[in-house]
Structure 1
Amino acid sequence: MGAALAPAGVAQAHPDADQVSVYPPIQGSSTWDRFGLSGPTSHHIVFGNYGYPNDWAVDIYRNPGATVVSPFGTKTASGHPVAVKVVTVRAGCATGNLADGGYRIGLEARDTTTGQILGRADVMHVTNKPSGIVVGASVGPWTKLGETGRFRYSSCYQVNGDSGAHIHLEVINQHRYSCYIARGANTALTDLTVIGKVGTHYTAQRQRC
């Protein structure tokens, strides 16, 4: 669960969940770790959920104005429908100023057949958020969360041009650890490219699937 392994008696209460795929949180094309500085093997993890730091982080690039969406798939590996709700909406930077880095929008995925919570994703550097994107809202795979944007240069956001505009994505399992799919810097993605999974049962942060 993005945490140290629980004692055996506790772990047995949380068996390995069904898995759901994680996709780029940008509609259409995007780029994985464009400059080779923000891959999940080492990229800084800023946020946490369930009382623990998130499992892994990556920057996914797209020029300003692209539609930002949920990164979670609609079905688990065994075919169970997945429901996604908004759990966090706040300024992503510690200053609390949206001009410094836009919104952090947190999402939670749940297996609707079993009721099990699978994990969460934090989608950071979102601008032009629709009014309906509030805590508690249900979102589908193409529900617009906002757009990619450019923000003023700061300790929270160090970007000099439109080619550097990106979404900072962080992912966490509810129990044990999620994983990412390793790929080289500047790899082109589509909105159907699987980039990771939640509901997996890894034993540490920053794990490759």
Structure 2
Amino acid sequence: MAGVAVIVPATTVQAHSVADAVSLYPPIQGASTWDRFGLSGPAVHHVVFSNWGYTNDWSVDIYRNPGATVVSPFGTRTAAGHPVSVHVVTVRPGCATGNLADGGYRIGLEARDDTLGVVVARADVMHVNNKPAGIVVGATVGPWTRLGETGRFRYSSCYQVNGDTGAHIHLEVINQHRYSCYIPRGANTALTDETVIGRAGVHYSGGRQAC
């Protein structure tokens, strides 16, 4: 797990699962913008959430005006071609107040290599508005399953946005073993559905690592 060296008997399955990568994509369908204002790039942006008892590896804000469809960031196959399934593991208000008006939903997703039967990584997708009723813990989601929408929430310590151009999804990623990485990009970089923004299942030595 991230943050702690865990000594286990070496097996072929474990070695393969650690080495094999899954690409990460923007969690917004269609066009979006990476770190629009130069304040939320992965090298410096705050990491809020934890999984498996460990702080997530890195975070970034990806921008799109309210009403855009939010989706899973995980690719559908590993680098070795193994199919990847994604399941919902967290659905709750994202802000500590517990009030959705302060920042929408946090939706946690877990990616699993179906060939090896191992968990690769998790991602937390935060500031989700208008979540469908079917997005509940245990649900399986595909790459285009609608998790909700980008939205505007009231200004608070959890969400400091003044206009629609500031609406964004806060994305965090964590590997099951060792650390995931992000693709370094300049502020205000345009993204598409097919832009790779990071990789999970890789084997970096610390958090906030560029691929």
Q: How would you bin the TM-score normalised by the shorter chain?
A: over 0.9
- Whether the 8 Å contact between 1:104 and 1:125 is mirrored in structure 2 is yes
The CA distance in 2 between the partners of 1:64 and 1:190, in whole Å, is 17
**1:119-144 alpha-carbon deviations (Å, 9 max, x no partner):** 00000000000000000000000000
Match of 1:98 among 97, 100, 108: 100
The CA distance in 1 between the partners of 2:77 and 2:3, in whole Å, is 25
Counterpart of 1:163 in 2: which secondary structure?
A: helix
Counterpart of 1:99 in 2: which secondary structure?
A: helix
The CA distance in 2 between the partners of 1:11 and 1:40, in whole Å, is 33
Match of 1:2 in 2: 2
Aligned length: 207
Q: What letter matches 1:32 in structure 2?
A: W
Length-normalised TM-score, structure 2: 0.96
2:67 paired with 1:65? yes
The CA distance in 1 between the partners of 2:113 and 2:131, in whole Å, is 26
Q: CA deviation at 1:4?
A: 2.8
Counterpart of 1:12 in 2: which secondary structure?
A: coil
2:198 paired with 1:201? no
Alignment of 1:23-172 (within 5 A): 23-172=25-174
> Any stretches of 5+ residues in structure 1 without a counterpart?
none
Q: What letter matches 1:10 in structure 2?
A: V
* Backbone CA RMSD of aligned residues: 1.0
- Whether the 8 Å contact between 1:179 and 1:198 is mirrored in structure 2 is yes
Q: CA deviation at 1:11?
A: 7.4
Q: What letter matches 1:136 in structure 2?
A: G
Relative distance call for 1:113 and 1:96 in structure 2 (3 A) is same
The CA distance in 2 between the partners of 1:186 and 1:124, in whole Å, is 20
Q: Which runs of 4+ in 1 moved over 4 A?
A: none
Alignment of 1:174-193 (within 5 A): 174-193=176-195
Length-normalised TM-score, structure 1: 0.97
Q: CA deviation at 1:5?
A: 2.7
Counterpart of 2:8 in 1: which secondary structure?
A: helix
The CA distance in 1 between the partners of 2:2 and 2:71, in whole Å, is 23
- Whether the 8 Å contact between 1:125 and 1:167 is mirrored in structure 2 is yes
Counterpart of 2:165 in 1: which secondary structure?
A: helix
Relative distance call for 1:29 and 1:11 in structure 2 (3 A) is farther
Q: CA deviation at 1:3?
A: 1.0
Counterpart of 1:179 in 2: which secondary structure?
A: strand
Q: CA deviation at 1:17?
A: 3.9
Relative distance call for 1:160 and 1:110 in structure 2 (3 A) is same
**Amino-acid identity (%):** 77
- Whether the 8 Å contact between 1:23 and 1:194 is mirrored in structure 2 is yes
